[in-house]
Structure 1
Amino acid sequence: MIENEIAKLIFDAGLKVHKALGPGLLESAYEECMFYELKKLAIKVEKQKALPLIYEEVKLDVGYRIDLFVENKVIIEIKSVEALNDLHLAQLLTYLKLSNCKLGLLINFNTVLFKNGVRRVVNGL
């Protein structure tokens, strides 16, 4: 499955969760529901996956965690904030670079319309 196909499945799962729960909950609640919905699709999904920083030949475990990692190809960063900002985008882009992934989805569930809270972030590698 390619990244865009995975992203479509993720968007549809997020839309389902948002329709059921609406805005205003904690990020952890949305993360658990997204994990559940993606697992039901029988695709590989990991939550709170550790992401080490490798500098030259030194591997540093500095506490980076990917919210959801789908099919070892797409990173999902979940937020429940008033508005996404540049720091949120930078965080996801850093995760993409550290993991050598091409695509990430920054999803803010604290929106009236789900589609307004979804940002695609592409790593130019």
Structure 2
Amino acid sequence: MTENEISKIVFETGLKIHKKLGAGLFEHVYEECLFYELTKSGLFIEKQKLLPIIYEDLRIENAFRLDIIIENKVILEIKTVDYISSNHKAQLLTYLKMTNCKLGMLLNFQSDVFKNGVTRMANHL
């Protein structure tokens, strides 16, 4: 399955959750709902995956944590904030570079309209 096909499933799933729950809950609630729904799709999904960073000869265990990674291709970063900042985008771009994944999605469930809270970011896609 391609990154774009996965992102379509993620968007539709996020929209379903947002319609049912609305805005205003904690990030982990949306993350759990996404994980639950996406696992029903048959995709390989990991949540709260801890990854190391290697700096020269130094290996730093658990240097960062991915909210959700799908098929080792698409990273989801879940937010419940008033707006997506440049820091949020930089965080996701760093995750993409560190994992060599090609597509990341910021999903801000705080947005009144779900599609306005979705940001796709590509890493050499």
Shorter chain as normaliser: what TM range? over 0.9
Total equivalences in the alignment: 125
The 5 Å alignment of 1:61-72 reads 61-72=61-72
Question: What TM-score, normalized by structure 2, do the two folds share?
Answer: 0.96
Which blocks of at least 5 consecutive residues in structure 1 are unaligned? Answer: none
Show CA shifts across 1:14-73 (max 9, x none).
Answer: 001101100000000000000001001111110000121122343211441000000110
Which residue is 2:58 aligned to?
58
Which residue is 1:103 aligned to?
103
The 5 Å alignment of 1:39-50 reads 39-50=39-50
Deviates more, 1:112-121 or 1:50-59: 50-59
Q: In angstroms, what is the RMSD of aligned CA positions?
A: 1.2
Which residue is 1:86 aligned to?
86
- TM superposition shift of 1:91: 0.3
Query: Are the equivalent residues in 2 in contact too, given 1:49–1:67 (CA < 8 A)?
Result: yes
Matches of 1:12 and 1:31 in 2, distance apart? 15
Return structure 1 stretches of 4+ with deviation > 3 angstroms.
Answer: none
The 5 Å alignment of 1:3-22 reads 3-22=3-22
Question: What TM-score, normalized by structure 1, do the two folds share?
Answer: 0.96
Query: Are the equivalent residues in 1 in contact too, given 2:50–2:62 (CA < 8 A)?
Result: no
Identity %: 57
Which blocks of at least 5 consecutive residues in structure 2 are unaligned? Answer: none
Which residue is 2:28 aligned to?
28
Higher share in strand: 2
